[in-house]
């Protein structure tokens, strides 16, 4: 840890990792043999309906600040079912040294496991610089429901720089790999007619379900700025742009009611 430094070290950010392991308890439920938060990444068990175990990330979310490196690692063992959420929105804030912050999420789903990763929105605050990396590895029989919501700036505020990559593999093969860069300092055109076109909230809902192999959901458009796209594997991705976080959530909630669980 960096906390032992004798003098204030503005360049050294905070490093924290939250680790979760879910395992089938053999009685039709899911146990949590590992539930270890750290620093601003505190973990709480929540009431969940069997066979699912519920975990929520809580804490004074004054992080990530520039220079911080936060990591969430969750493993759902064979036949385990995990619902993972967050208590509040995550604010990406500027650091003192101007260096980027990192937020890594790693989800591993073993045979027959399911994970619902439904965090609250990520808000990119003016002056911040955050790199998000989400990696999901699924066994062929695993099921995933994943939501990502990104909001550019608090109400009426200009955004920071946000770079986010979502990579999902299934049985070791790439299923989805997408990288988004927006805000001041992002490559040109990010807010233009081939970019966000002035929208300030964007989100994705990904559902991976082996049952889709036989009957994949059909492609569909949900108005002018949202679409349902079946992927090249048993999965469907809903992508939406919206003027604000509220409208975005409405769109993704209705998609979740149709395709998720």
Taking the complex as a whole, the smallest distance from the CB of residue 197 to another protein amounts, in Å, to 6
Taking the complex as a whole, the smallest distance from the CB of residue 75 to another protein amounts, in Å, to 20
Residue 163: CB partners within 8 Å, gap ≥ 6?
A: 130, 131, 132, 179, 180, 181, 186
The closest alpha carbon to 148, from 122, 111, 186, belongs to 122
Strand 161-170 and strand 129-138: the pairing is parallel
Q: Do residues 165 and 132 lie in contact, with contact meaning Cβ atoms separated by under 8 Å?
A: yes
Residue 94 or 210: the one with the smaller Cβ distance to another protein is: 210
Cβ atoms within 10 Å of 208's Cβ, excluding its own: 25
Question: Buried b / exposed e across 28-40, counting CB within 10 Å, b at 16+?
Answer: eebbbeebebbbb
Residue 124 or 204: the one with the smaller Cβ distance to another protein is: 204
Taking the complex as a whole, the smallest distance from the CB of residue 78 to another protein amounts, in Å, to 25
Taking the complex as a whole, the smallest distance from the CB of residue 117 to another protein amounts, in Å, to 18
Residue 96 or 250: the one with the smaller Cβ distance to another protein is: 250
Residue 37: CB partners within 8 Å, gap ≥ 6?
A: 18, 43, 57, 59
Taking the complex as a whole, the smallest distance from the CB of residue 215 to another protein amounts, in Å, to 15
Q: Which residues bind another protein (CB under 8 A)?
A: 165, 167-168, 173-181, 187-190, 192-197, 202, 204, 219-221, 224-232, 237, 239-241
Taking the complex as a whole, the smallest distance from the CB of residue 205 to another protein amounts, in Å, to 12
Q: How far is CA 142 from CA 9, 65, 85, 112, 117, in A?
A: 44, 34, 19, 5, 14
Residue 18 or 225: the one with the smaller Cβ distance to another protein is: 225
Residue 24 or 166: the one with the smaller Cβ distance to another protein is: 166
- The token duo for 87 is 């208590």
Q: What are phi and psi of 256, to 5 degrees?
A: -65, -35
Residue 21 or 200: the one with the smaller Cβ distance to another protein is: 200
């Amino acid at each position: 840890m960096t906390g032992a430094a004798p003098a204030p070290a503005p360049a050294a950010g905070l490093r924290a990792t939250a680790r979760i392991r879910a395992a089938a308890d053999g009685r039709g439920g899911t146990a949590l043999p590992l539930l270890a938060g750290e620093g601003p990444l505190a973990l709480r068990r929540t009431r969940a309906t069997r066979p699912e175990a519920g975990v929520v990330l809580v804490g004074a979310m004054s992080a990530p600040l520039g220079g911080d490196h936060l990591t969430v690692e969750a493993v759902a063992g064979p036949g385990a079912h995990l619902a993972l959420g967050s208590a509040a929105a995550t604010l990406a804030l500027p650091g003192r040294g101007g260096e980027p912050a990192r937020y890594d999420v790693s989800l591993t789903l073993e045979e027959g496991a399911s994970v619902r990763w439904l965090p609250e929105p990520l808000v990119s605050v003016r002056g911040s610089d955050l790199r998000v990396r989400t990696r999901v590895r699924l066994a062929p029989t695993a099921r995933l429901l994943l939501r990502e919501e990104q909001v550019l700036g608090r109400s009426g505020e200009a955004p920071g720089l946000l770079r986010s990559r979502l990579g999902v593999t299934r049985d070791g093969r790439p299923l989805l790999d997408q990288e988004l860069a927006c805000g001041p300092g992002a490559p040109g055109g990010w807010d233009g007619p081939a970019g966000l076109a002035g929208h300030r909230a964007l989100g994705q809902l990904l559902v991976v379900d082996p049952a889709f192999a036989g009957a994949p959901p059909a492609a569909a458009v949900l108005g002018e700025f949202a679409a349902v796209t079946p992927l090249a594997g048993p999965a469907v991705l809903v992508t939406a742009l919206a003027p604000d976080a509220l409208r975005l959530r409405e769109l993704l909630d209705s998609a979740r009611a149709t395709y998720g669980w």
